[in-house]
Amino acid sequence: MSASSIQYIPYRQDGEPPRRAAITHVEVNLDGLSEDEIQIIGHLVDAAEWMNPIFRDQFDPRTALLIELVDQLLPLAEKHEQTLLRSYLTMLNLQNSPWALLPRKNVLAGLEKSRLEELLKHLPEGDDEIRAELLELMTSGLSTPDTANFYPQDISEEEIEKIGDAIKIPNSSVIRDAEGDLYVVYNEDRYSETIAQAIKHLEAARDLTKDTGLHLYLDAKIIEMQTGFEEARRIADYTWVRHNSPIDIVISTALEVYIDNLKNFHGSAIGGVYLRNEEAEKLLNAIVERVEYWEKNAPWTFKKESIRPETLPKLKFVDVVSWAGDQVTGPFTTIAQSLPNDEWVGKEVGTVNMVYMNTGKAVHGVSGNLAAEEFLTHDEFEKVKDVLFEANQLHSALHEIGHTTGRQAPEASEGQPSNYIEEEYSFLEESRAELFGLFAVKKLVDDKIIDEKMAHACYDGMLVTMVTSMKFDPVQAHNKARNGMFHAFEKEGIISRVEEEGKTRFVVHHKKAHKAVSAMLNRVADIKAHGDKAAATALREELVFTDPLKAEIEERTADFPLGRGLVFPKLKKVDGRYTRELVYPHTFSDQEKFSLELLD
């Protein structure tokens, strides 16, 4: 999709300035795939997309009802009202919920409540209580619920403690029955009928693949999705880390914990299908070869005492064929990921760190270097502008490696680190990974894998990310991390403000940056290693706060798109078989995953 064909969707949140999201196509290349591999890709995409209705129910089960209501209201509305409602519908799908994660608020429909009430009178009779709830979501400023749909909204700390360790099962939810009693249920039981649709396609893909590793992984993943048992999940993780097929799928009812803002215990449903990007192999190998060095020379106390080659992280630069579930949230898109999240698997088997290439290019095509040009000095921007995209991709890869490094102190080595640090965990872990990504750059320069210009661009790109994060109140994990880093770095004097043409711009003092990054990484990593929640809270309270820069940054980025809707093509089917022909839907909301409904 060319820049001229990018579509911009206006939206509004209570107390926030008007914003707009950008809709753009993702390019997918199927060259070189055999006929069987085309069928495998088609089935994997269909399997992944069945995670979307599960994710929606986990976040807010009213999303499907809102979409149905908007569809009913559209024919009744005036032309200008239809435009507002269609934009609202796009945002519901772009976020996969009524809620944004940054800032944590609902998007408003744009029509006055009284006008919507008038339109509702023309609809057939329905559940008045439900419609009142939906109307509230469409017109009133509300905060994204910390519980999502993983817990009853009225759950108390006493009830959480009473449930015990069962509440920490990542692929589960806490349900209150008719008598008011709480119980924990596996996702695989709660959503069994919907999961069964995904399993059918996983089985079809497994039966077609000639790659032994992928075959074994799909076998294990099918059993995991049938049972939900921890042993099955770990076997699936093991076979996923080990397989080396250029075709891949990540599919789970419980992966990232970001929408559980109450305790960070529960993961949400996700689906992604990937093809390895062979062009990036050289840099990939150079990074992985240095993981042992970084671990041994890391500035934290609890290093891995021995690194078995088989547990070294695998780095994959991949193109995304399809995303569903937790990958479709707003306003930002995932640049890279480190998986699996099971601490035991990572320690004993290793991890896979994926950097998403074609989606990254699509997002860069929307935003480009707008923020860098606005906030870096003119001289610095001119020096690094041509490598900023590549630098950001490199830092993302190193960030994901960072998630896999270090170990827990003996007193905090049982279970997951999040069990000790709870709601502070995501902020702490994202801070640690961002810092590691910057720390690791020096070794790549020393070994002449990258040059000083690229290293400077990594720091400059992170600086721009930190500055633009200031436009939000720090409530989301990544945003808290970047907010805290900005304040720490400014305090240490490795970034400073300068006036240029009447604007505040920012400078990284590159010569002393590495030392300051190492010191902060030491502090953050040791807090995590000890599972020290009190220290994590103290760190956040010291460094993370709404900055006086907020209003200025908001004003200067008001025209920048916030939110990216990625449109993926589907493989056209003819006589029940997938073809190589890629078909893009007419609109963002026409993507098939958004029409799938929960069957349970």
Alpha helix ranges (H) inside 274-337: 281-288, 291-296
Buried b (16+ CB within 10 A) or exposed e, 505-519: bbbbeeeebbebbbe
Low-confidence residues in the chain, pLDDT < 70: 1-4
pLDDT for 216: 98
Cα gap 542→593, rounded to integer Å: 42
At 320-375, the pLDDT tens digits run 999 999 999 989 899 889 899 898 898 888 889 898 999 999 998 898 899 999 99
H or E element at residue 322: strand 314-325
Compute the CA torsion angle 134, 136, 142, 143 (nearest 10 deg): -30
Q: Taking the domains of the chain in order of start, what are their residue ranges?
A: 368-562
Residue 245 makes CB contacts below 8 A (sequence gap 6+) with: 209, 211, 213, 214
Cα gap 42→330, rounded to integer Å: 26
| For residue 340, cis peptide bond before it (omega within 30 degrees of 0) | yes
- How distant, in Å, are the alpha carbons of 28, 396, 545 from that of 241? 24, 19, 38
At 82-134, the pLDDT tens digits run 999 999 999 999 999 999 998 999 999 999 999 999 999 999 988 999 999 99
Q: Is there a contact between 222 and 199 (Cβ–Cβ < 8 Å)?
A: yes
At 475-487, the pLDDT tens digits run 889 999 999 999 9
Cα gap 371→71, rounded to integer Å: 36
DSSP per residue, 239-288:
HHHH---SEEEEEESS---TT-TTTS-----EEEEEEE-GGGHHHHHHHH
Cα gap 492→519, rounded to integer Å: 10
